[in-house]
């Protein structure tokens, strides 16, 4: 079990953002979860370098997967790992801040595996709609994240 002090280190290190979709924890009704990058079910540890902050959506959709399918290259590739990779090298935001765009095989496979944009639902009934409200409130996307221009 991960103690509260370790959870706070993970939260602070992530700047209180989901390390996959970059949703801000402060808009959530509950604290985000601490995700195991290598799941415990496949021998992952509770070491800090194996932990990431994840919103409930991303945590549940990631489940115990460590790889995903890139539709563009037709390859199975590792999912994004925030301990080893830089978010802005694999993802960028649409100009309106509602959609995350994977720009590498890892980014695209992560978007696909985590259904990071709720593309199976209409835009007005998905995470994209919620992100639109966050944009209007000035809470999203994070200033340091790249956007399409």
Question: For 39-59, what is each residue's pLDDT tens digit?
Answer: 999 999 999 999 999 999 999
- pLDDT, position 149: 78
Determine the Cα–Cα distance for residues 126 and 57; give it in Å rounded to an integer: 12
- pLDDT, position 122: 84
CB atoms inside a 10 Å sphere around CB 128: 20
At residue 38, does pLDDT exceed 90?
Answer: yes
Check residue 83 and report its DSSP letter: T
At residue 71, does pLDDT exceed 90?
Answer: yes
pLDDT classification of 81: cutoffs 50, 70, 90: very high
In percent, the amount of the chain with pLDDT more than 90 equals 91
CA nearest neighbour of 92 among 114, 117, 74: 117
CA nearest neighbour of 51 among 64, 72, 33: 33
β-strand pairing of 67-70 with 51-54: unpaired
CA 106, distance to chain mean position in Å, is 12
Is residue 43 classed as helix, strand or coil in its secondary structure? coil
Total residues found in the chain within this entry: 149
pLDDT classification of 120: cutoffs 50, 70, 90: confident
State mean pLDDT over 118-139: 91
Q: Name the maximum alpha-carbon separation found in the chain.
A: 43
- pLDDT, position 113: 97
């Amino acid at each position: 079990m991960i103690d509260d002090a370790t959870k706070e280190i993970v939260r602070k290190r992530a700047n209180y953002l989901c390390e996959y979709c970059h949703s801000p924890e402060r808009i959530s009704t509950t604290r985000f979860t601490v995700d195991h990058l290598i799941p415990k079910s496949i021998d992952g540890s509770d070491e800090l370098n194996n932990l990431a902050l994840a919103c409930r959506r991303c945590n549940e959709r990631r489940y115990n997967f460590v790889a995903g399918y890139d539709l563009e290259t037709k390859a199975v590739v590792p999912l994004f790992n925030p301990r080893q990779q830089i978010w802005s090298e694999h993802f960028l935001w649409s100009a309106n801040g509602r959609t995350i765009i994977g720009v590498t095989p890892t980014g695209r496979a992560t978007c696909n595996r985590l259904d990071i944009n709720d593309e199976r639902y209409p835009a007005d009934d998905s995470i994209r709609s919620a992100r639109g409200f966050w944009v209007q409130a000035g809470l999203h996307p994070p200033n340091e994240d790249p956007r399409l221009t």
